[in-house]
């Protein structure tokens, strides 16, 4: 039984400052979608593996259960509006957002700091989330802008 207070645990976990990414995917002929995440992590260089965690309650669950690939797009500080937009329930679509086609069949955000185009390597059941592990097929690092940072449930800037 879980005896920990979820709200307090979430607050304490929020002390870990992270970057912010949008994970994009496309399933068959469906419109491409994206989801804002801060659970991204690098895992392995050989083979090249990365992960992120998907809430089983997300309205994007079905798409990410079916997809064969996904792309991690690391956001710049100037992309806060995009982060907010793709964290809204029922609004996963990328209409009007500049994208290019990736080698894994998924669109990637043209203006991201870095993108990692992955095939799905594994899905691991983990409590109320699914750990999505991707094998990187291609990556780009087109921009040297400052990253978007997330800490204590809000955005903040990097101290310089
Ligand atoms: C900064 C930030 C980080 C987030 N990180 C994650 C994450 O790692 N995994 C996840 O499933 N949802 C994460 N979310 C929430 C999803 O973006 C959001 O729940 C999803 O897009 C759809 O909303 P729904 O869960 O109400 O259907 C994050 C949201 C924000 C704003």
In ligand 1, the atom with minimum distance to the C-alpha of 18 is 1
Mutate to test the pocket of ligand 1, among 55, 91, 92, 134 (most ligand atoms within 8 A of CB): 55
Which pLDDT belongs to residue 2?
Answer: 74
Query: Which pLDDT does position 160 carry in this prediction?
Result: 67
Where in the chain are the domains? 6-155
**Residue nearest to ligand 1 atom 31, measured at CA:** 87
The reported pLDDT for the residue numbered 143 is 81
Q: How far is CA 4 from CA 11, 13, 54, 56, in A?
A: 12, 13, 21, 20
Phi, psi of 35 (to 5 degrees): -140, 135
| Euclidean distance between CA atoms 106 and 69, whole angstroms | 7
Q: What is the structure's pLDDT at 150?
A: 98
Pick from 150, 20, 33, 25: nearest CA to 89: 33
By the 8 A CB rule, do 152 and 24 touch? Answer: no
Each residue's pLDDT tens digit in the chain (160 positions)? Answer: 578 999 999 999 999 999 999 999 999 999 999 999 999 999 999 999 999 999 999 999 999 999 999 999 999 999 999 999 999 999 999 999 999 999 999 999 999 999 999 999 999 999 999 999 999 999 999 888 999 999 999 999 887 6
What is the model's pLDDT at position 3?
Answer: 86
What residue ranges line ligand 1, CB within 6 angstroms?
Answer: 20, 35-39, 52-55, 57-60, 83, 87, 89, 150
Tell me the CATH number for domain 6-155: 2.30.110.10
Instruction: Look at residue 74 in the predicted model and tell me its pLDDT.
Output: 98
Taking alpha carbons only, the member of 140, 86, 143 closest to residue 113 is: 143
């Amino acid at each position: 039984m879980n005896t920990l207070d979820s709200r307090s645990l979430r607050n304490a976990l929020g002390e870990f400052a992270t970057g912010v990414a949008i994970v994009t995917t496309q399933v068959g002929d469906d419109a491409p979608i994206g989801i804002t995440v801060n659970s991204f992590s690098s895992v392995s260089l050989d083979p090249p593996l990365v992960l992120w965690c998907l809430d089983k309650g997300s309205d994007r669950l079905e798409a990410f259960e079916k997809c064969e690939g996904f792309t991690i797009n690391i956001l710049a500080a100037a992309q806060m509006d995009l982060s907010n937009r793709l964290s809204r329930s029922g609004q996963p679509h990328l209409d009007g957002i500049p994208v290019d086609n990736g080698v894994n069949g998924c669109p990637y955000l043209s203006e991201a700091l870095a993108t990692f185009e992955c095939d799905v390597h594994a899905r691991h059941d983990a409590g109320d989330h699914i750990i999505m592990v991707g094998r990187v097929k291609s990556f780009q690092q087109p921009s040297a802008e400052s990253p978007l940072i997330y800490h204590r449930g809000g955005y903040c800037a990097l101290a310089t």
